[in-house]
Amino acid sequence: MKSSVARGPTHKQSALWLAAGLALVLAAGLALTVGPGEFGLAEVLATFGAKLRGLELEPRAEAILWELRLPRVLLSLLIGAGLGSAGAVTQGLFRNPLASPGVLGISTGAAAAVIFGFALGLDEQALWVTPALAGLGALATLGLLFGLTSRRQDLAYLLLTGVALNALAGAVATVILALFLDRYALAQKAMAWMMGSFDGRGFTQLGWASGPILVGMTAAWALHRPLDLLVLGEETAATLGVSRGRLRALAAVVVGLLVGTSTAAVGVIGFVGLVVPHLARSLLGIAGHAHARLLPASMIIGATLMLAVDTLGRALTPTFLAPGALTSLLGGVFFLGLLRRQTQIGDQR
């Protein structure tokens, strides 16, 4: 009988982890050199070195590199890591490789709640209002999903329910905007925000988003053992001390915190939570149930992917292509391929 004790990483896996870390560092360095203003990597490093030593910077370099690009790069890394870990938790919770906050309507639920806040002007009352609304919207959608799928575990029903909730939340957002057609500024802000973008984000957004997302990622990793046991089945997991209700409640709070904060900070970024866990498993050779490694790997790869997509969008067009549009395009193709693969596996069984 094979031992159920998890083995440590092999030399090959350690090399893959090192490569993933180096890719993240290289992506960050490249991202700092892309955009308006001709700054090479050597100049970027010299600028940050001088800043850290307390030296006065040349105004142009400080404005572009320190005030604009650095917070954008750090926020991209943070959002990508948060959404990647949220996707890993969601797939583990539903024991389904096609589950993700975007596919199941959780991100759109958060978006609808924020647009409701925009319409009422609540976002202008206090800085914490938009993150709170996004978190509540994500939690409400996840709660509805739990309620509607608790008695049926098949893939088709889960996906159809998620699609329905996604459409419902999108319809709510559309109705709200339709009721305020005379407010052009509102429609413009809502549409730009629905596409998901890092434009105009700086140290302010990075400051208030860092705490909730870091807490959420820490809590996500703390759920690795019950998520591993859940793979064995709910009845088996229950005999090993996993409370289904408690796990669902904790996971809902974690996913709501991660998705809600990310959505509030930069808008709707779709499909990152779906794609990243699959990339983590395939690139780093992680078993589907090894959440102790899958979660940190999803954070690293999610951060790298998000930063790469944003850098690509800035490099392709002078006006910057919204990363939310790119992730939706790439993720949609990935989802169709994954759905086809899962269907073929089901047919073979």
Per-residue pLDDT tens for 29-78? 888 888 777 788 888 888 888 877 877 778 888 888 888 899 999 999 99
Cα 124 versus chain centre, distance: 25
Place of tokens 């910057």: 320
Which pLDDT score, from 0 to 100, does residue 335 have?
Answer: 79
Q: How confident is the model at residue 307 (pLDDT cuts 50, 70, 90)?
A: very high
In degrees to the nearest 10, what's the CA dihedral of 10, 12, 13, 14? Answer: 90
Distances (CA, A) of 252 to 69, 146, 223, 298, 306: 33, 9, 12, 18, 23
Q: How confident is the model at residue 2 (pLDDT cuts 50, 70, 90)?
A: very low
Q: How far apart are CA 133 and CA 316, in angstroms?
A: 33
> Per-residue pLDDT tens for 88-124?
999 998 888 888 888 888 888 888 998 999 888 888 8
Q: How far apart are CA 287 and CA 86, in angstroms?
A: 18
List the one residue out of 95, 98, 92, 101 whose CA is nearest residue 338: 98
Query: Mean pLDDT across the stretch 138-144?
Result: 88
pTM of the model: 0.86
Q: How far apart are CA 309 and CA 315, in angstroms?
A: 10
92 burial (CB, 10 Å; 0-12 / 13-18 / 19+) is buried
Residue type, 326: L
In degrees to the nearest 10, what's the CA dihedral of 248, 250, 254, 257? Answer: 100
> Per-residue pLDDT tens for 218-276?
999 999 999 999 888 888 888 888 888 888 889 888 998 898 889 888 988 888 988 99
Q: Are 295 and 224 in contact (CB under 8 A)?
A: yes
Which pLDDT score, from 0 to 100, does residue 288 have?
Answer: 63
* Most confidently predicted of 154-168, 193-207, 333-347: 193-207
Residue 306 has pLDDT above 90, yes or no: yes
Which pLDDT score, from 0 to 100, does residue 89 have?
Answer: 94
Q: Report residue 305 as tokens.
A: 């992917």
Three state DSSP letters for the chain: CCCCCCCCCCHHHHHHHHHHHHHHHHHHHHHCCCCCCCCCHHHHHHHHHHHHCCCCCCHHHHHHHHHHHHHHHHHHHHHHHHHHHHHHHHHHHHCCCCCCCCCCCHHHHHHHHHHHHHHHCHHHCCCCHHHHHHHHHHHHHHHHHHHHHCCCCCHHHHHHHHHHHHHHHHHHHHHHHHHCCCCHHHHHHHHHHHHCCCCCCCHHHHHHHHHHHHHHHHHHHHCHHHHHHHCCCHHHHHHCCCCHHHHHHHHHHHHHHHHHHHHHHHCCCCCHHHHHHHHHHHHHCCCCCCHHHHHHHHHHHHHHHHHHHHHHHHHHCCCCCCHHHHHHHHHHHHHHHHHHHHHHHHHHC
Which pLDDT score, from 0 to 100, does residue 153 have?
Answer: 63
Q: Report residue 269 as tokens.
A: 């970024």
Interior/surface letters 103-123, b for 16+ CB within 10 angstroms, e for the rest? bbbbbbbbbbbbbebbbeeeb
CATH of domain 97-339: 1.10.3470.10
**Higher per-residue confidence, 106 vs 155:** 106
Q: Report residue 306 as tokens.
A: 């998000």
